[in-house]
Homo-oligomer: A and B are copies of this chain.
Amino acid sequence: MEVQIAAAKTNKYAVLESGDTLEVVERPNGGLSVVLADGQTSGRGAKAVSMLVVRKVISLLAEGVRDGAAARAASDSLYTDKKGKVISTLNIISVDLETGTVVLTRNNPAPFFIAREERIDCIASASSPLGASRNVRPVISEIPIEAGLTLVVYTDGLVHAGERTGQPMDVEISLKAMLEGQDPAPQEIADALLNEAVHLDDGRPVDDISVVVLRVLKRRGDDVRRMTVRVPISVKG
């Protein structure tokens, strides 16, 4: 099999820096984890918060700490640092080759989607962000790694897209249409959802938006790991 992950990320309109942080890291016992955090508010302050959370999580995962424990630790750390006044959402998607499962750890009111072939489930159980209090617990879903699996995880910019114009986005309908189509690449799915959200916000996103799509597929081609990153930049000074 092979795992393909794609992410697409954009900033709130007229804000230079996204408050979302997304990193992909290798797990010490095999596999990899995608860590996505959305810090409260937007711009530099939110970015500092989401980076703090992501750093904490990836340093714990690197030590072999389990995902749920890493999420709790990041929550306590944020709570201690900001005295409960600043919150952050967190999603961890781990492909754990030791257990043969995908583990989804979620401290985010925004739901996520699991699709197996063309059946789509929306996981929308109540889930609190990190940092609001002591005893914040993540909601954890664990599913076997199998070919045909698609996961879609996002920050609340996607949830709120279109609300201003009275045309809220329906992620499930969009995803269903894509999965019924021509076996889309994860990057096509992520880009299409992001583009739809930006379009519903009239080209001026009301919040930072990040979309992550993970697909498990039958092995196609060689044994080479590949990664590409594309970042628009403006050089200061």
Contact with B along A208-229 (1 / 0, CB 8 A): 0000000000010011111111
Contact with B along A10-33 (1 / 0, CB 8 A): 110000011001111110101110
Q: Which chain B residue shows the least CB distance to A10? A: B224
Q: Chain B residues near A219: list those with CB within 8 A.
A: 232
Contact in complex: A229, B32 (CB < 8 Å): yes
A97 interface residue (CB < 8 Å to B): yes
Q: How far is the CA of A191 from the CA of B234 in the complex (A)?
A: 28
Q: Give chain B nearest CB distance to A98 CB in angstroms.
A: 6
Contact in complex: A21, B26 (CB < 8 Å): yes
The number of chain A residues touching the other chain, given as a range, is 35 or more
Contact in complex: B98, A236 (CB < 8 Å): yes
Q: Which listed residue (B23, B30, B229) contacts A226, Cβ 8 A?
A: B229
Contact in complex: A231, B32 (CB < 8 Å): yes
Contact in complex: B230, A7 (CB < 8 Å): no
Q: Give chain B nearest CB distance to A225 CB in angstroms.
A: 4
Q: Chain B residues near A225: list those with CB within 8 A.
A: 7-10, 18, 229-232
A181 interface residue (CB < 8 Å to B): no
Q: Chain B residues near A21: list those with CB within 8 A.
A: 26
Q: Which chain B residue shows the least CB distance to A100? A: B235
Contact in complex: B100, A4 (CB < 8 Å): no
Contact in complex: A2, B227 (CB < 8 Å): no
Would A187 and B228 be within 8 Å (CB), given that A95-B233, A223-B10 are in contact? yes
A145 interface residue (CB < 8 Å to B): yes
A1 interface residue (CB < 8 Å to B): yes
A153 interface residue (CB < 8 Å to B): no
Q: How far is the CA of A31 from the CA of B161 in the complex (A)?
A: 27
Q: Chain B residues near A1: list those with CB within 8 A.
A: 232-235
A-B contact pairs, 7 of them (CB 8 A): A2-B231, A4-B229, A6-B229, A7-B225, A59-B59, A187-B228, A191-B224
Extra 5 A-B pairs, beta carbons < 8 Å, given A3-B230, A5-B228, A145-B235: A2-B232, A5-B229, A6-B226, A223-B232, A226-B230
